[in-house]
Structure 1
Amino acid sequence: MSEISLVLLAAGDSTRFASPVKKQWLRIGDDPLWLHVAKDLAKKANFAKIIIVANPQDLKYMRSFCDEFEFVSGGDMRQKSLKNALEMVQSEFVLVSDVARASISQNLINSLLENLGKFDCVSPYLGVNDTAYLGECEIARDEIKLIQTPQLSRTNLLKKALQSEQIFTDDSLAIKSVGGSLSFVKGEISARKITRICDLENFNFPSVCTETFCGNGFDVHALEAGSFITLCGVKIPCEYSLIAHSDGDVAIHALIDAMCGAAGIGDIGELFPDTDEAYKGIDSKILLRKVTDKIHRYGFEIVNADITIMAQKPKLSPYKEQMRKALCEILATRKVNVKATTTEKLGFVGRSEGIAVIASVNLKYFDWKKLLIKD
C-alpha cells in the first residue's frame, strides 16, 4: 500500500459554537477533543505521519500534550491551514479531515482506502432523501451529494491546486480544478460534524474527567517612594510605589502564575514578557482577563483562588474585601480569598523594601454535558 499521511484541521475559532470553550478543547475524558480524534484515527490506518493544524495561539500548548504527532500553524482560512500542512507531507496520498468530525468509523476509513490510487480524490457523501429545491426550481435529489470528510487525495495534485488564488470549500473541488479524477463513497450519518452545542447530543463521548488541578504562584516587587500602589486591581493611597514594567500589581502577577501552573500553560513571563513594550505600564487587570479567557477557551473552570499578600506597609486590611470583589468579577467566581499579613519586620518585606505574594488556584475541566441539559 502507498504511504498516506493524515492531516487534521483544528485551527478554527469555533465562532458558531456558543460556549466559553473552543470546541477542539472540549474534554473527552482527560483528552481535549483534537487529541481524542487524532488518537482514534491513528488506530484505524497505518499513517506515515499525522499532522495537527493548530491555531497559532494554541500551537505551543498543543505540542505539550503529545510527541507522537507533528504540529503546524494554521491560517485564517481552511485552505491556508491545509496548504501549511501539505508543506510537511511527502507521502503520495494524504487523508484530510476536520477535528470537528469526531466519530469516523473503521468502515468509512476502509471504504476510502479501498479506492487508494484508483482516483485522485475520494470523498464520502450523504444522499438527500427529501424533495429539494434551489430557489423555486426542484432539484433531482438523486444527483445531490453532501460531502463529508475525511477526503483521500493525491498529494501532488492537491498541492498544485492550492497554489491557485481560487478558494475551494473542500479538497474534491481543488482536485477537480486541476483536472484530477474524482470518486465518491457512501458516507455515514455518524460522521457528522460538531458545529453547534446541540450537535454534541449525537455523540456518545465518555464523561469529562473530574480531576482537580492545583497551581501556585509567587512574585515580589520592590517599593520606592510614591503616592499609591495597586494590588488585586485596587488603587491604595500610600507613600510608596511598586517598581515594575507593568503597573506592578504583584498580587495579580502571582495569581496569573498560579492559573498558568494549574492549566499547564507556562508562566506570566512567557505570556507577557517584560521585554515587550506593549506591556509597559499596562493595567494588570487586562492581563488577568486575557489569562482567564485563555484557560476558559482551553476547557477549564476556576474552582477557587487563594492569595496571601505579605506587606509591612501600607496597612491592607481595609482594602481586602474590595480586592476580593475585583478579582471575583474578573475570574467569574465568588470563590476568591484574599489575605494580608506582615513579616513581623523581618526581611526585605519587614523593612518595607518590597511586597511579596503567594497565590494558589484550583481548576477543573468544564463539563460541557451540562450545556445539553434541558429545562
Structure 2
Amino acid sequence: MGDDPLLADSLAGLNVLPPVSGGAERHDSVRNGLEALAALPEPPDLVLVHDGARPCVPAEVVQNVIEALKTHEGVIPAVAVIDTIKKAADGIIIDTVPRDGLWRAQTPQGFRFGTLLELNRTLRDARTDDAALLEQAGHPVAIVQGSEDNIKLTVAEDLMRLEGVIDRNLLPRVGLGYDVHAFEEGRKLILCGIEVPHTKGLAGHSDADVGIHTLCDAIYGALAEGDIGRHFPPSDNEWKDMDSARFLIHAGERIRERGGFLVNADVTLICERPKIGPHAEAMRNRLADLLKVNVSRISVKATTSERLGFTGREEGIAATATVSIMVPDNGEA
C-alpha cells in the first residue's frame, strides 16, 4: 500500500497493535479488525469503533462511552437534533418530522467485544454504523452526550469547520531566547547547524552553536519548560562537545509531545564577523529540517552592534530568537 511508510512513521514508538488492512466497505473493515482482536491470546472485553474522519473527538466523549459500557452492551455518543427536520421528495416538502427524541449519532461507538464479534459474524449485511447490528438483534444501545466539536469530514466545507475547532482549542505561546559565546582559538565555528569558515570558533561545553542554543531557549520558554541548561546541564559530561542539533531535535519533540506545532521562529545573530548572509539560507534549511517544519516558518538574519560592546570588539557572538507556537488549551491558562 502506498501509505504504508507514512503509517509506519506515524506509529513509530507507540505501543499499539499492528495495523489491520481494511475491506471494501466500512463493515468489512470493522469485521477484519474484530477478527484480528479475536486472534489475540487475550481478546479484549470492550472495543471502540471510531471513524477516522472524526479527528477532533474530545477525550471526555471517549471516557463517557467507556464508563457507560460498565452497564450496557452497546453505547454511542450522540447530540440532540435541534434543527427543524423536513422530509422531501423531488424538491418538495412532504412532511415535517418531529425532532423530539432524534439524535445525531457519532463515534467512537463502544461495545462488549464478544457481542459485536458474534453479530458481525452472523449478520453480514451492510450497516452505516455498528450500533445498528445490536439494534437489529434486539440488544439495547445506550446514548451518552457527544460533542459538536466531534465533526465528520465528509465534504470540502468541513475542512473549514475543522480549522475552527482546532484554532479554538489551541492557545498561542511566544518564547524569547538570548545566548552569547566567546570566541576561542582552535575550534570550528558552528552557527544554526552549519559550519561557517572563520579564524575562530566559539567556546562552550557542547559545540557552542549560539544560534541553536538561543532557539532552544525560546522554545522551552514558550512551553514554560525552563531553558536549555535544565534539559542538558553543562555540568554533565554526556553533553561535552555534543552536536547542538540534538538539543533542537529534543525541543521540537517537546512541542509535538505537548500536542502543539511551531508557527514560526526568528533567529538573529549579532556579530561583526563572519558575514552571515552567504550562509543564512543553509541555516534556515538546517533548522527547518531539525524541527520538521517547512522552511517558510524559519527566519535567520544577522546584525552588528556598530562596533560597540564585546561583539563590536569581535570577542564573541550573541544571538536572540523569538518563536510562536500553538499548544492545546488544557485549562492551565
TM-score normalised by L of structure 2: 0.53
Counterpart check, 1:207 vs 2:168: no
* Superposed CA offset, 1:258-311 (max 9, x none): 111112222111111111111110101121112212211211111110011001
| Amino acid across the alignment from 2:115 | V
Q: Give 1:352's aligned residue.
A: 314
Q: Give 2:203's aligned residue.
A: 243
Three-state SS of the structure 2 residue aligned to 1:213 is: strand
Contact 1:227/1:237 (CA < 8 Å) preserved in 2? Answer: no
Three-state SS of the structure 2 residue aligned to 1:102 is: helix
Q: Which runs of 5+ in 2 are unaligned?
A: 1-12, 19-58, 73-109, 123-139, 153-161
Q: Which runs of 5+ in 1 are unaligned?
A: 1-12, 19-98, 113-123, 139-185, 192-198, 368-375
* Superposed CA offset, 1:36-78 (max 9, x none): xxxxxxxxxxxxxxxxxxxxxxxxxxxxxxxxxxxxxxxxxxx
Three-state SS of the structure 1 residue aligned to 2:269 is: strand
Following the alignment from structure 1 to structure 2, what is the Cα–Cα distance between the partners of residues 328 and 336? 6
Following the alignment from structure 2 to structure 1, what is the Cα–Cα distance between the partners of residues 290 and 186? 27
Q: What does 1:1-375 correspond to in 2, within 5 Å?
A: 14-16=14-16, 102-104=62-64, 108=68, 126=112, 128-131=115-118, 207-208=165-166, 209-226=169-186, 228-331=188-291, 332-334=293-295, 335-365=297-327
| Amino acid across the alignment from 2:177 | G
Give the C-alpha shift of residue 130 in structure 1: 4.9
Give the direction of change, closer, same or farther, for the CA distance of 1:239–1:296 in structure 2 (3 Å limit).
Answer: same
Three-state SS of the structure 1 residue aligned to 2:220 is: helix
| Amino acid across the alignment from 2:307 | K
- Larger Rg belongs to: 2
Contact 1:301/1:366 (CA < 8 Å) preserved in 2? Answer: no
| Amino acid across the alignment from 2:186 | G
Three-state SS of the structure 1 residue aligned to 2:272 is: coil
| Amino acid across the alignment from 1:250 | V
Contact 1:310/1:357 (CA < 8 Å) preserved in 2? Answer: yes
Give the direction of change, closer, same or farther, for the CA distance of 1:287–1:106 in structure 2 (3 Å limit).
Answer: closer
Following the alignment from structure 1 to structure 2, what is the Cα–Cα distance between the partners of residues 277 and 100? 44
Give the C-alpha shift of residue 129 in structure 1: 4.6
Provide the aligned C-alpha RMSD in A: 3.9
- Count the aligned residue pairs: 206
Three-state SS of the structure 2 residue aligned to 1:131 is: helix
Give the direction of change, closer, same or farther, for the CA distance of 1:287–1:189 in structure 2 (3 Å limit).
Answer: farther
Following the alignment from structure 1 to structure 2, what is the Cα–Cα distance between the partners of residues 315 and 17? 52
Three-state SS of the structure 2 residue aligned to 1:275 is: coil
Give the C-alpha shift of residue 105 in structure 1: 6.2
Report sequence identity in percent: 35
